[in-house]
Amino acid sequence: DEAAPDSPIQFTLTRIEAGTYTAALPFTPPLSDADLREIHWYLEDFSKWPTGPDYQRAARIERQLEPWGRALLDSLISHREAARIWQQFVDADSGDNGKIITLDATDPRVLRLPWELLADEGGHLFANGVGLRRRMKKTTTSATRPVQLPVRILVVVARPDEAGFIDPRADAIALLDATAGLGDQVAVEFLYPPTLKALTDRLRDRSAPPVHVVHFDGHGVYNARQGLGYLLFENEAHKNDLVDANRLGTLLQQARVPLMVLSACQSAMQQETNPYASVAARLIRAGVGSVLAMNY
């Protein structure tokens, strides 16, 4: 069930590689909705058409980034159990690839916070190879099937004529470069046309190899009036087709696709009064196993 906006929030801190984790602990977000709106403006709007006052506003926000990061860390380790797990994590040998700790929560209000800003008195932690993975835990689990190689990634590159320009090559090139060294362990397939009907037909085609990852490369839109997020697919005329997350999630759940990647801005964006409104959260609630999305 959806959590009420004023319901208690809980989280679990996990060191996956060590097999240690905390019990569910209470959490109070240290950043206000106004703070989050400032960060959103700085990342999304400031660079477009800045004027004199915009630079002053941006400078104020930049001065707050590290204090916000310290407030986030303080809120995370305010409980003795979490502080112990965190200190073990910090003290552990990171090797050459950095290290990641996992924050699990069933409430999206935890996940929408800018954890990338985490900082201590020495500065932002990401500069030292420290990362935090946040996951939305589902109250119910869907059946999964063993993945047999190759892992098949179905890429949907949607560029409706009415939407703003995004280079259609950028994500595709990065994905192909990232998987080039994996040989026949990974197969990348591009959906054409990038319509919901074509996606439905492909996922329901039992004569075709099963899809393990759907990678959506396109626009995410957030309807403030409805308080809901959508993905912009194309229709047959190459115009906007706003696809509701519940509809898409049901399709992926029925096709038993374990992972969806949303390379679409605002696909994890939430309304303050309804944190379950984002595309990512609603896909999870619809039964998709895992969703990787963008807050900004």
In a domain, 141, yes or no: no
Residue 242: give the domain boundaries: 151-292
pLDDT of 268 above 70: no
pLDDT of 274 above 70: no
pLDDT of 85 above 70: yes
Give the residue from 136, 163, 178 where a domain finishes.
Answer: 136
What total number of domains does the chain contain?
2
In a domain, 1, yes or no: no
Do 132 and 156 belong to one domain? no
Do 229 and 127 belong to one domain? no
The pTM assigned to this predicted structure is 0.76
DSSP one-letter string for 35-95: HHHHHHHHHHTTTTS--HHHHHHHHHHHHHHHHHHHHHHHHHS-SHHHHHHHHHHHHS--T
3-state secondary structure of 244: strand
Do 236 and 283 belong to one domain? yes
Do 132 and 159 belong to one domain? no
Amino acid letter, residue 200: T
pLDDT at residue 148 in the model? 86
Of the listed ranges 9-13, 73-77, 132-136, 164-168, the least confidently predicted one is 164-168
In a domain, 78, yes or no: yes
Mean pLDDT of 47-74: 94
Do 44 and 117 belong to one domain? yes
* CA gap 232, 240 in Å, rounded: 6
Q: What CATH number should be reported for the domain holding residue 287?
A: 3.40.50
In a domain, 217, yes or no: yes
pLDDT at residue 135 in the model? 83
pLDDT in tens, 202-253: 999 999 999 999 999 988 877 777 767 788 999 999 999 999 888 899 999 9
pLDDT at residue 109 in the model? 83
Give the residue from 105, 136, 167 where a domain finishes.
Answer: 136
Give the residue from 136, 162, 177 where a domain finishes.
Answer: 136
pLDDT at residue 3 in the model? 52
In a domain, 174, yes or no: yes
Do 43 and 169 belong to one domain? no
Do 214 and 97 belong to one domain? no
Do 125 and 170 belong to one domain? no
Do 222 and 174 belong to one domain? yes
Q: What is the dihedral of CA 113, 117, 120, 122, to 10 degrees?
A: 180
Do 37 and 115 belong to one domain? yes
